[in-house]
């Protein structure tokens, strides 16, 4: 009798364990997730990703870039993983590395309905990437030094009018200043683009390690003004520094607006969740959240913006970029 009870007890335990295993398997199967690689500052990206999870119930597994690699690290990782993709979506804080990834066939096309109002020049014609939420290239000016004087053009770094003032710009070898160099090359030609930085150096412009360094030099009064991005510049304003910010060249060709970009990875594991995430990222509501956080300041979803955009072709600018990058490395001594 005891043996029968023991056998019955063992059978019950086995059934219970099997049931638990099945339930766990079902729970696992029902969990939806999306893997997002992003070069956006972690404190900014995390807020958007948490909102997405709360809104959709889809779990986000993020992989962040490090500041020193300026988006390049994640781009290289995506290329290395191309035969066995780990990411579903790439969200970048700029555009040049996104164009490189398209060239490397890392993306698959996805044209989101949420991108309908975004200008054509800020999205790929075949849907491989989409731009949204822009940062402008701006002049940050120390008002203690400059008073009412307002340098407001990229050419003010090389002008005789401001030759007695110290100025600053970041090295054009990475980040948004590299993008700016590529666009200069497209619009002006290679020689003029390289000569611009050489002329700026000769005109008391220091070329430094990044846009945040430009901001700090201006805010501290070590230089009178410099070119940086809006997120860095407006952070100084928020901190109460004696600075003002002016969008570049609003009286003539306009300000270069550098977008965030997003693309879906070729042969990714969670394509449906990836599409839902891209739709969420491109929505006007998410763009507004990014603006409220101070990460972006220009809407690409709003046709009523009164900012004059510099007209350029990012794809063409990228194609001519590699050659000028090698030449400017030799021309500028760090």
| CB 228, CB 170: distance < 8 Å | yes
Give the number of residues written for the chain. 334
pLDDT of residue 156: 98
Work out the pLDDT band at 185, boundaries 50, 70, 90. Answer: very high
Specify whether 190 is located in the same domain as 244: yes
- Name the burial class of residue 275, with classes exposed (0-12), middle (13-18) and buried (19+) by CB atoms within 10 angstroms of its CB: middle
Q: Is 225 contained in some domain?
A: yes
The token duo for 184 is 């200069």
Q: Is 284 contained in some domain?
A: yes
Q: Is 296 contained in some domain?
A: yes
Work out the pLDDT band at 20, boundaries 50, 70, 90. Answer: very low
29 vs 217, more confident: 217
HSE-CB for 35 with a 13 A CA cutoff: 11
Work out the pLDDT band at 190, boundaries 50, 70, 90. Answer: very high
Specify whether 144 is located in the same domain as 235: yes
- DSSP H helical ranges for 206-313: 211-220, 230-238, 271-282, 284-292
pLDDT of residue 26: 39
Residues 32-60: what's their mean pLDDT? 96
**Residue 140 clears pLDDT 50, i.e. is over it:** yes
Q: Is 210 contained in some domain?
A: yes
Rounded Cα distance, 316 and 322, in Å = 12
pLDDT of residue 302: 75
Specify whether 217 is located in the same domain as 144: yes
pLDDT of residue 333: 66
Reported as a single tens digit per residue, the pLDDT across 49-63 is: 999 999 999 999 999
Average pLDDT, the chain: 89
> 3-class DSSP state for residue 294?
coil
Angle between helices 175-188 and 321-331 (to 10 degrees): 110
Q: Which of 63-72, 181-190, 261-270, 280-289 has the lowest mean pLDDT?
A: 63-72
- Name the burial class of residue 143, with classes exposed (0-12), middle (13-18) and buried (19+) by CB atoms within 10 angstroms of its CB: middle
Specify whether 206 is located in the same domain as 93: no
Q: Is 229 contained in some domain?
A: yes
Residues 255-274: what's their mean pLDDT? 97
Residues 162-179: what's their mean pLDDT? 94
pLDDT of residue 65: 81
Reported as a single tens digit per residue, the pLDDT across 62-102 is: 999 865 555 678 999 999 999 999 999 999 989 999 999 99
CA distance readout (Å), 41 to 69, 177, 187, 256, 271: 12, 17, 30, 21, 24
HSE-CB for 245 with a 13 A CA cutoff: 22
| CB 257, CB 308: distance < 8 Å | no
pLDDT of residue 17: 46
Specify whether 211 is located in the same domain as 192: yes
Rounded Cα distance, 137 and 253, in Å = 13
Rounded Cα distance, 39 and 72, in Å = 9
Q: Is 22 contained in some domain?
A: no
Q: Is 216 contained in some domain?
A: yes
Specify whether 281 is located in the same domain as 227: no
70, 74, 79, 80: CA torsion to nearest 10: 120
pLDDT of residue 258: 93
The token duo for 288 is 């507004």
**Residue 8 clears pLDDT 70, i.e. is over it:** no
**Residue 229 clears pLDDT 90, i.e. is over it:** yes
309 vs 15, more confident: 309
Residues 244-258: what's their mean pLDDT? 95
- What are the phi and psi torsion angles at 240 (to 5°)? 80, 20
CA 157 to chain CA mean position, Å: 26
pLDDT of residue 304: 65
Specify whether 179 is located in the same domain as 228: yes
| Count of CB atoms situated within 10 Å of the CB of 27 | 9
Give the percent of the chain with pLDDT over 70: 88
pLDDT of residue 66: 67
The token duo for 148 is 């009412």
Element (H, E) at 34: strand 33-38
DSSP 101-168: HHHTT-EE----GGGTTS-GGGB-TTSS-EEEEEEEEEEEEEHHHHTT----SGGGGS-STTTTS-EE
Q: Which of 98-112, 193-207, 305-319 has the lowest mean pLDDT?
A: 305-319
**Residue 243 clears pLDDT 70, i.e. is over it:** yes
In terms of residue numbers, what domain contains 241?
A: 135-256+325-331
Nearest partner of 152 among 253, 257, 247, judged by Cα: 247
Q: Global pTM?
A: 0.81
Specify whether 140 is located in the same domain as 125: no
**Residue 23 clears pLDDT 80, i.e. is over it:** no
pLDDT of residue 2: 47
CATH number at residue 89: 3.40.190.10
| CB 323, CB 193: distance < 8 Å | no
Residues 200-218: what's their mean pLDDT? 96
Q: Is 23 contained in some domain?
A: no
For the chain, the domain total comes to: 2
Specify whether 299 is located in the same domain as 237: no
Specify whether 53 is located in the same domain as 155: no
DSSP secondary-structure letter at 32? -
Residues 278-301: what's their mean pLDDT? 92
**Residue 212 clears pLDDT 90, i.e. is over it:** yes
């Amino acid at each position: 009798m005891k043996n029968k009870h023991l056998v019955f007890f063992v059978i019950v335990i086995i059934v219970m364990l099997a049931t638990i295993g099945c339930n766990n398997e079902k729970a696992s199967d029902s969990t939806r997730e999306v893997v997002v690689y992003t070069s956006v500052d972690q404190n900014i990206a995390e807020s958007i990703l948490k909102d997405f999870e709360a809104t959709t119930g889809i779990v986000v597994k993020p992989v962040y870039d490090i500041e020193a690699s300026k988006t390049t690290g994640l781009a290289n990782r995506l290329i290395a993983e191309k035969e066995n993709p780990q990411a579903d979506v790439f969200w970048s804080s700029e555009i040049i590395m996104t164009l490189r990834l398209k060239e490397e066939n890392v993306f698959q096309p996805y044209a989101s309905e949420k991108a309908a109002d975004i200008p054509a020049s800020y999205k790929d014609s075949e849907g491989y990437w989409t731009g949204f939420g822009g940062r402008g290239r701006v002049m940050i000016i120390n008002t203690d030094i400059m008073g009412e004087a307002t340098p407001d053009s990229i050419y003010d770094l090389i002008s005789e009018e401001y030759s007695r003032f110290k100025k600053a710009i970041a090295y054009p070898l990475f980040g948004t200043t590299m993008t700016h160099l590529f666009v200069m090359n497209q619009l002006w030609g290679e020689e003029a683009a390289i000569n611009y930085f050489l002329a700026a150096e000769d005109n008391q412009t220091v070329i430094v390690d990044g846009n945040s360094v430009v901001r700090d030099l201006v805010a501290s009064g070590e230089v009178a003004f410099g070119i940086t991005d809006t997120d860095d510049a407006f952070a100084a304003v928020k901190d109460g520094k004696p600075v003002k910010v002016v969008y570049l060249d609003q009286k003539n060709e306009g300000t270069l607006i550098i977008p965030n970009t997003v693309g879906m990875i070729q042969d990714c594991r969670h394509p449906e969740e990836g599409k839902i995430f891209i739709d969420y990222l491109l929505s006007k509501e998410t763009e507004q959240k990014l603006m409220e956080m101070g990460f972006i300041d220009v809407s690409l979803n709003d046709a009523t913006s009164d900012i004059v955009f510099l007209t350029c072709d990012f794809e063409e600018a990228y194609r001519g970029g590699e050659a000028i990058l090698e030449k400017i490395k030799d021309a500028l001594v760090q």
